[in-house]
């Protein structure tokens, strides 16, 4: 029986030709190629950075330009050049797990913050290699670097405001503080006691607040951000929800209602005060208007009196000229008659001469036109007016002559 077995083996090797051996070898190589084809060539996408570590030497090659590269059975690691990191409690943002970050405010209130931030891989190979060496994958970079930096920034932002402030007047500060600290490093802070006015109680009170330490209006940093150390860029941090605890949410609503009531009361008080001021101003305006109306009447009266005075003075001057004319005519008549007397007149002729002279003077005076309006001297009725004085002087001169 043993001899039969030996005979079968001998026949098998005799029938196993070189051609069959070649086919078997090629088949084996084909199977090996199929199994390890993914380790031979690696494709680099335009949006990726690929790092390949050689299977034989352990050397690392970094590829940032798109196209196929030789892998040579090495290990290839892919990194997105840019990716959106989510820290959200929504299923359609990031993954299905709750990735929101908890924040604690200076009044003891808590909230869960959801949002996202865009991060970018460095462009220089030295920084890329350091990231790859320290983290080894994109997921590790996001969870161990990006998330930790954002979480620390959120944690350090909470003490800078109260729950109510984060929901209202400091909502924009909440976003800017988190983004700035994530990119540049957390702030150096200090505690201070300050006095504030409580609108609800209408009193001043002292509270302890956390403030950012500044130098030349620039915030000082407690440490440099880790993303800056690794030359990773963060941009466009956004918050899409702040979910407060139920107690905090109710407290904020109560505070807002009370605050609105106080503001309404203050507004009504200011309105009443303003109405009183307006009424006072309107009264002053009416008084001033009445005063100026009287001033206008007074000015008109003064102007009219001034005009009357000027007219009276002009008429007085006219009367003086007329009086001078009368005097001149009388002088001429008197001179003519005196010549006739000196020439020798009878008593009858002289009587007629005196009669004619007096009649001539009377006729001259009757022709004198006096002003219809004139200004009296002192207004007490005792002192003569300017016109009376002038005419008196002129008539006196006529009498003397």
Q: Tell me, what CATH number does 130's domain have?
A: 3.30.479.30
pLDDT surpassing 80 at residue 388:
no
Contacts of 32 by beta carbon, 8 Å cutoff, 6+ apart: none
395/335 same-domain check: yes
34/111 same-domain check: no
37/175 same-domain check: no
135/190 same-domain check: yes
pLDDT, greater one: 370 or 197: 197
60/118 same-domain check: no
pLDDT surpassing 90 at residue 215:
yes
What percent of the chain shows pLDDT beyond 90?
A: 36
Mean pLDDT score of the chain: 79
Which phi and psi (to 5°) does residue 201 adopt?
-95, -10
30/93 same-domain check: no
Calpha distance 337→296 (Å, rounded): 61
Beta-ladder partners of 212: 189
Most confident of 160-169, 174-183, 265-274, 381-390: 174-183
46/92 same-domain check: no
Specify the pLDDT at position 400. Answer: 46
Beta-ladder partners of 70: 41
66/133 same-domain check: no
Residue 96: inside a domain:
yes
Specify the pLDDT at position 399. Answer: 46
Contacts of 39 by beta carbon, 8 Å cutoff, 6+ apart: 55, 71, 72, 73, 74
Span 47-104, pLDDT tens digits: 999 999 988 888 999 999 999 998 877 899 999 999 999 999 988 887 788 999 999 9
Which phi and psi (to 5°) does residue 393 adopt?
-65, -45
Span 124-136, pLDDT tens digits: 999 999 999 999 9
pLDDT surpassing 50 at residue 301:
yes
Span 330-346, pLDDT tens digits: 677 667 667 666 665 65
Specify the pLDDT at position 181. Answer: 97
152/62 same-domain check: no
Residue 262: inside a domain:
no
Residue 295: inside a domain:
no
pLDDT surpassing 50 at residue 398:
no
Residue 283: inside a domain:
no
Which pTM was predicted? 0.57
pLDDT, greater one: 356 or 399: 356
Final residue of a structural domain among 211, 244, 277: 244
Query: Which residue in 155, 136, 137, 153 sits closest to 227, CA to CA?
Result: 153
The interaxial angle of helices 246-342 and 347-366, nearest 10 deg, is 170
Final residue of a structural domain among 48, 76, 104: 76
Question: Which domain covers residue 97, as residue numbers?
Answer: 81-244
The mean pLDDT of 279-305, rounded to a whole number, is 79
41/104 same-domain check: no
pLDDT, greater one: 27 or 302: 302
100/61 same-domain check: no
Residue 156: inside a domain:
yes
Which phi and psi (to 5°) does residue 34 adopt?
-65, -40
Number of domains in the chain: 3
Span 146-190, pLDDT tens digits: 999 999 999 999 999 988 889 888 999 999 999 999 999 999 999
């Amino acid at each position: 029986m043993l001899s039969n077995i030996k005979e079968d083996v001998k026949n098998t090797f005799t029938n196993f030709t070189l051609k069959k051996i070649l086919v078997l070898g090629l088949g084996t190589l084909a199977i090996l190629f199929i199994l390890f084809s993914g380790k031979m060539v690696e494709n680099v996408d335009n949006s990726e950075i690929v790092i390949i570590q050689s299977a034989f030497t352990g050397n690392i090659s970094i590829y940032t330009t798109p196209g196929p590269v030789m892998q040579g059975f090495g290990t290839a690691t892919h990194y997105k050049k840019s990716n959106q990191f989510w820290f959200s409690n929504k299923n359609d943002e990031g993954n299905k797990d709750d990735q929101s970050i908890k924040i604690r405010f200076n009044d003891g209130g808590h909230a869960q913050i959801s949002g996202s931030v865009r991060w970018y891989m460095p462009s220089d190979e030295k920084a890329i290699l350091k990231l790859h060496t320290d983290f080894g994958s994109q997921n590790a970079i996001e969870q161990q670097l990006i998330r930790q930096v954002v979480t620390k920034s959120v944690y350090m932002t909470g003490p800078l405001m109260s729950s109510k402030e984060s929901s209202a007047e400091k909502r924009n500060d909440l976003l800017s503080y988190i983004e700035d600290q994530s990119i540049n490093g957390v702030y150096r802070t200090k505690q201070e006691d300050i006095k504030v006015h409580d609108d609800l109680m209408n009193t001043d009170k002292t509270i302890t607040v956390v403030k950012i330490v500044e130098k030349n209006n620039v915030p000082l940093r407690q440490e440099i951000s880790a993303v800056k150390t690794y030359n990773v860029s963060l941009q466009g941090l956004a918050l899409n929800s702040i979910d407060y605890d139920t107690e905090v949410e109710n407290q904020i609503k109560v505070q807002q209602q009370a605050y609105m009531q106080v503001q309404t009361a203050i507004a009504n008080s200011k309105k009443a005060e303003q109405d009183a001021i307006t009424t006072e101003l309107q009264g002053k305006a009416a008084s001033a208007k009445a005063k100026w109306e009287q001033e206008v009447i007074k000015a008109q009266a003064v102007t009219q009196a001034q005009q009357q005075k000027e007219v009276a003075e002009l008429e007085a001057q006219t009367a003086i000229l007329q009086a001078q004319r009368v005097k001149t005519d009388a002088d001429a008549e008197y001179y003519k008659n005196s010549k006739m007397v000196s020439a020798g007149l009878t008593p009858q002729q002289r009587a007629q001469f005196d009669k004619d002279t007096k009649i001539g003077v009377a006729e001259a005076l009757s022709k004198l036109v006096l002003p219809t309006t004139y200004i009296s001297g002192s207004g007490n009725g005792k002192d003569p007016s300017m016109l009376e004085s002038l005419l008196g002087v002129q008539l006196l001169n006529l009498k003397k002559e």
